Structure 1
Amino acid sequence: MLYLSEAPELLLPEVSVSDCGRSCVVIDLDETLVHSSFKPIGNADFIVPVEIDGTMHQVYVLKRPHVDEFLQRLGELFECVLFTASLAKYADPVADLLDQWGVFRARLFRESCVFHRGNYVKDLSRLGRQLARVIIVDNSPASYVFHPENAVPVQSWFDDMTDTELQDLIPLFEGLSREEEVYTVLQSMRPT
């Protein structure tokens, strides 16, 4: 139980020298970068063994089209953090396979979320970064309900191999990487 007198610990370590001056992009995993299933998927990119309640399960993981290009480019421009409401025992091995380039400077899992009105919310104010320089990429508005002005929403992705959303977002992020604060650009994207 968190009491108001307790200051929550920051979720991220101090900014590394190589990321100094960069904005921070918080990136969701499931239905944003990948889709995972306990049911066998013939064209799975990865099969990850996960132990749940003493039983080993195979998790079949499909990578969203253009995810490699997206992660590599964002890793060149931003401090990138994986933040998922999934459990670490599933998400960590998936991230190991997905992030071949060491793009994610940190990984945050379900225990770093705030449980709020039945949802796991990613409270960006707990990152220890200037909020005007934080962007969250997520398919679930409930995940960023505390900070909608920091969001770049994406459509939930399951298996459409013709999807180009991640590729289409790269120019936006290239522009955002040059901004001193992200709110002006992100506000111009929101429907009025």
Structure 2
Amino acid sequence: MSVSDSAAKAELTQAEVYAPRSLQLWRTLLNWLAFFFQIFLQILRGTPSVTQVLSYVGLRHHSLLPSSPSFKPLPVVELPELEPPPDSVQINATDGTDSAAAAVDRPAEKFTVVLDLDETLVCAYETSSLPASIRNQAIESGLKWFELECVSSDKECEGKPKVNYVTVFERPGLREFLKQLSEFSELVLFTAGLEGYARPLVDRIDVENLFSLRLYRPSTISTEYREHVKDLSCLSKDLCRIVIVDNNPFSFLLQPLNGVPCIPFSAGQPNDGQLLEVLLPLLKHLSQQNDVRPVLYDRFRMPEWFQKHGIPASGWTV
């Protein structure tokens, strides 16, 4: 056998040895491509969000516009560690009169915190449309959850109210957040959701009745720029000591100096620490201010953010 024949045979042998392996690699590659294609299709179909759920129960929210550089939704709050002032101090009289308690100079007006519901305190999904993988992953990660029956604004064919089934996930630390917050502020729930959906949900998360007032969609107003706006003047004419926390900044476009924009919450955020690690320290700091608006303006610059999104100062009622 010639040298050339030997070389040709060697090449053929190598081809016979590596051909099956190459075929196997191609099959593996095709399987991976098919797998990623299925994931892509799932993304296109979309996981039902809280906005979709609310539409099933008669709610409608406007989507947020992309955030601008001047809008910073609370990733971290850097505040000085402040010792809370004592309620009062005792001053011993030196002229023989009875001792008296002198009140420390503290803000006289009560501090009110207005809290949004969906994507701020909880996130909700229509139970029948929630993928089992997302549900199981959220539960395994430790998120507290419950299922809820809520009355829709739609009617069934017999004219009876339609009942929807919703799976609700609580934002981590929710119960402790409400408890600690109620110790130094008056809590008000203000949601653009309909009462048939929101009332039974809040009954589940506020078993101690910490909210002094609950406001639903009929309490919101429509403006030239957005619908379902939450006007804080319906709660107090003095806005020095009132704050609203909402994942949708357009909810407080009438009072931009009183708003605290927070990061939206979803079931895919089991390690979210916004309530206890970010919002609670900020709200404690605000509770010690005579007027919260200068602090919030320095922190978020919301008036400039609204102007960049086409809402002029004439649209505010600060």
Length-normalised TM-score, structure 2: 0.52
Aligned residue pairs, count: 173
1:108-127 paired onto structure 2 within 5 Å = 108-116=215-223, 117-127=225-235
Matching residue of 2:295: 185
Q: Structure 1: which 5+ runs fail to align? A: 1-19
Displacement, 1:118?
4.3
Length-normalised TM-score, structure 1: 0.84
Matching residue of 2:123: 35
**Letter of the structure 2 residue corresponding to residue 162 of structure 1:** N
Alignment partner of 1:45 is 2:154: no
Displacement, 1:187?
1.6
Give distance in 1, aligned partners of 2:112 and 2:251.
Answer: 17
Give distance in 1, aligned partners of 2:185 and 2:112.
Answer: 6
Matching residue of 2:165: 58
Question: Aligned in 2, Cα 1:81/1:45: closer, same or farther, shift over 3 Å?
Answer: same
**Letter of the structure 2 residue corresponding to residue 45 of structure 1:** W
Q: Structure 2: which 5+ runs fail to align? A: 1-107, 156-160, 305-318
Q: CA RMSD in A?
A: 1.7
- What's the CA shift string for 1:69-114, capped at 9, x where partnerless? 2111111111110000000111111111111222210000000000
Bigger proportion of residues as strand: 1
Question: Aligned in 2, Cα 1:93/1:129: closer, same or farther, shift over 3 Å?
Answer: farther
Alignment partner of 1:82 is 2:185: no
Alignment partner of 1:174 is 2:284: yes
Q: Tell me: higher relative CO, structure 1 or 2? Use CA pairs within 8 A at least 6 residues apart.
A: 1
**Letter of the structure 2 residue corresponding to residue 171 of structure 1:** P
**Letter of the structure 2 residue corresponding to residue 144 of structure 1:** F
Are the counterparts in 1 of residues 226 and 250 from structure 2 also a CA contact under 8 Å? Answer: no
Bigger proportion of residues as helix: 2
Give distance in 2, aligned partners of 1:22 and 1:123.
Answer: 18
* 1:147 pairs with one of 252, 255, 276: 255
Identity %: 37
Displacement, 1:55?
2.0
**Structure 1 range deviating more: 139-148 or 172-181:** 172-181
